[in-house]
Structure 1
Amino acid sequence: MTFPLRRALWLLDAERAHRLTVAALRLMPLRAPPAADPILSTEIAGLRFPTPVGLAAGFDKDAQVWRELLSLGFGFVEVGTLTPLPQPGNPRPRLFRLPADEAVINRMGFNNGGLAAALPRLRRDGRGLVGANVGANKESADRIADYAAGVRAAAAVADYVTVNISSPNTPGLRDLQYGAALRDLLAAAVAERGATPLFLKVAPDLDPAQVDDIARAAVDARVDALIVANTTVARPALRSPHADEAGGLSGKPLAPLALVRLQDFRRATGGALPLIAVGGLDSGAAAYARIRAGASLVQLYTALVFHGPGLALRIARDLAVLLRRDGFTSVGEAVGAG
């Protein structure tokens, strides 16, 4: 995306700018993903990732441009969050840029066109790895049934499925992260996944006992990986207008909390479960730090708003340099080395 176009998009409200960005990507000539440095190739859950740098859910909610995003240098793309029924999400405005903080606050509320509309666009074609992030409808009478339906449908077409119970923007959703509710949810999801890897996305706003409980439940249920972590409802010191808006905070201010929570889950799982780090990642050095702290893969989203569409390639390039500098021959060797 050229600088004049990025500047023009910044003159629009954040949600409209995002819609136009997706529309522009749909007009791009479809290209093969760029060749990745072999040192970046890594495997988790039986999947071979060309690089550990992925795009988090939230950008391509309805699986419209995942192929185009892979062509920007992402090793994998996660679409969604998708719910069984279409829903409009929360009232607008609901997406706010915080430029002075390189952050975003959103309270989107799982706005999407539904599983049936999106999943036909996820047919595997060998172009790259794509995951589907699934959630529950806001007004659902049985949210666990919603997740089971989402996993069942997405597992047929996606390379992996993520159960998202950590968004702060659907009332009561995070209650599914705890105790019997979490175990019932995971049992239902595992029963529907077939041979498709199943990931669980957790919140950063957890205390040590909650971390331990989630880790035990995920290991016991044979979940394939944990994604650590979603947006936070905490508010560190922020300088931008809109800092007091309700919703989940992402971007640079989330990075310290996301790193601590990653370390907590590494300790709690004892390395028995692959971890995927997300939250405030904006450079090769940041990605490398998360890998050394225990992440097998990393994801980003908010940093694209501030650093542009070439960010995935820059992070991958810099990560390869850092791995070789420290004598590693693969990403896997560096996982947890810090």
Structure 2
Amino acid sequence: MSLSTWALRAGYRGLRAGMFRYAGGDAERVHEAMISLLAKAPAGARGRVADPITVAGIRFPNRVGLAAGLDKDGLAAQAWARFGFGFAELGTVTVLAQPGNPKPRVFRAMSSEGIINRMGFNNRGAAELAETLRAKGVARGNQALGIPLGISIGKSKVTELEAATQDYLTSLRLLAPYADYVAVNVSSPNTPGLRSLQAAGELAELLGALTGEAAALSARRPVPVFVKLAPDLEGTDLRETVAVINDSRVAGVIATNTTLSRHGLLPADRHLADEAGGLSGRPLTARALSFVERLAATTQLPVMGVGGIMSPADGARMFDAGASLLQLYTGFIYEGPALVRGIQELRRPL
């Protein structure tokens, strides 16, 4: 880690102490305040060109991106390049605006460097996100905000599983003009029944419809479709799901989402074990890495590695496991922009 990155890390940790105390330690209120502040940031910064790569026809200025969940409604979309990210994934959004699950629904496992959340796809809806991006001058491929933007789409809570495909298709139609890629979220544990869409039969129907619609919207250059999987998918279920993905026209896989497991929570955080929701951060590190290793061994598709990347060394191991790109969420909360820069320094010493 360079001296400047070390200083950036130390400065952020001082700021983090105050942020984590804000609003009585309410993690969601801190998140909302951060997004409100970043929403006022001017556009214009370009992604740091440290380790460029082209994946699915998209040129990324570097391989470290922001994961979905931090900026659900794209309010701070113009700010993420300023933190050194090479891309940002907005959402997850649904066709219907929805409030998400009852609060409180976000819990910091401080000793374990983890977060448990059961947000439940709270968002303003796909049409609202499309309008927000249009107003910011975003169009697919123009990188008006300095970096490529992915958009994660999910199923509205009130939509029956039998109608899920149409729900996703409507979001795709609304957002394809603004997305450099679309991520299909079938792996959140916080929408009842959603993970059943990872099953081979259901996933084949959904991915076939979405990639077909993407081609219909732009036969010459369909928007790339990625699918995001849960780290709890194992054994025969995982093999069958990957076989479906390999036979589809998707552009890549995002691995992983949060886990329902509570393995890795330290004793000081065990009181959170019974809180419903997905666990992210340090307790997910080994599980996500193992998942990416298994996935990379069974598919030729590019993989975005996400989950438990809490240090530059974790990022390096994820690349070694076969990931082409990385995404940060909980690691960024705990370590700040120094983590983004530190991973890039390992990839390409400055």
Q: TM-score, normalised by structure 2?
A: 0.87
Comparing 198-207 and 24-33, the one that deviates more: 24-33
The match for 2:186 among 165, 171, 175 is 165
Aligned-partner Cα distance in 2 for 1:283–1:255: 10
Give the 5 Å matches for 1:287-326: 287-321=315-349
The match for 2:130 among 119, 132, 141 is 119
Show the counterpart of 2:200: 179
Aligned-partner Cα distance in 2 for 1:206–1:68: 34
The match for 1:28 among 41, 44, 50 is 41
- Following superposition, the deviation at residue 71 of structure 1 comes to 1.4
Aligned-partner Cα distance in 1 for 2:56–2:316: 21
- Following superposition, the deviation at residue 214 of structure 1 comes to 1.4
Aligned-partner Cα distance in 2 for 1:277–1:204: 11
- Following superposition, the deviation at residue 284 of structure 1 comes to 2.2
Show the counterpart of 2:18: 8
* Paired amino acid for 1:156: P
SS at match of 1:222: coil
Give the 5 Å matches for 1:10-89: 10-11=20-21, 12=23, 13-33=26-46, 35-37=48-50, 40-89=51-100
Identity %: 42
SS at match of 2:178: coil
Aligned-partner Cα distance in 2 for 1:212–1:113: 35
Aligned-partner Cα distance in 1 for 2:77–2:156: 23
Query: Any idea what the Cα deviations from partners look like across 1:84-133, whole Å, max 9, x if unmatched?
Result: 01000000000000110000000000000001111123323432100000
Comparing 245-254 and 179-188, the one that deviates more: 179-188
- Following superposition, the deviation at residue 2 of structure 1 comes to 5.5
RMSD over equivalenced CA pairs, Å: 1.6
Q: How many residue pairs align between the two structures?
A: 318
Show the counterpart of 1:329: none
Instruction: Give yes or no for contact 1:208–1:264 (8 Å, CA) kept in 2.
Output: no
Comparing 15-24 and 281-290, the one that deviates more: 281-290
* Paired amino acid for 1:248: G
* Paired amino acid for 1:255: T
* Paired amino acid for 1:202: L
Instruction: Give yes or no for contact 1:219–1:273 (8 Å, CA) kept in 2.
Output: yes
Query: Any idea what the Cα deviations from partners look like across 1:267-299, whole Å, max 9, x if unmatched?
Result: 222xx1111100011222211111111111011
User: 2:248 aligned with 1:248, yes or no?
Assistant: no
User: 2:305 aligned with 1:277, yes or no?
Assistant: yes
Instruction: Give yes or no for contact 1:168–1:247 (8 Å, CA) kept in 2.
Output: yes
Q: Given the superposition, is the C-alpha separation of residues 88 and 156 from structure 1 closer, same or farther in structure 2, using an over 3 Å criterion?
A: same
- Following superposition, the deviation at residue 181 of structure 1 comes to 0.8
Query: Any idea what the Cα deviations from partners look like across 1:311-335, whole Å, max 9, x if unmatched?
Result: 21222123223xx9xxxxxxxxxxx
Aligned-partner Cα distance in 2 for 1:314–1:267: 27
After the TM superposition, which parts of structure 1 deviate over 3 Å for at least 4 consecutive aligned residues?
1-5
User: 2:207 aligned with 1:196, yes or no?
Assistant: no
The match for 1:136 among 155, 172, 175 is 155
* Paired amino acid for 1:173: L
Show the counterpart of 1:155: 176
* Paired amino acid for 1:277: G
Comparing 209-218 and 49-58, the one that deviates more: 209-218
Instruction: Give yes or no for contact 1:211–1:264 (8 Å, CA) kept in 2.
Output: no
Aligned-partner Cα distance in 2 for 1:34–1:132: 18
Give the 5 Å matches for 1:323-338: none
* Paired amino acid for 1:10: F
Aligned-partner Cα distance in 2 for 1:154–1:293: 32
Q: TM-score, normalised by structure 1?
A: 0.90
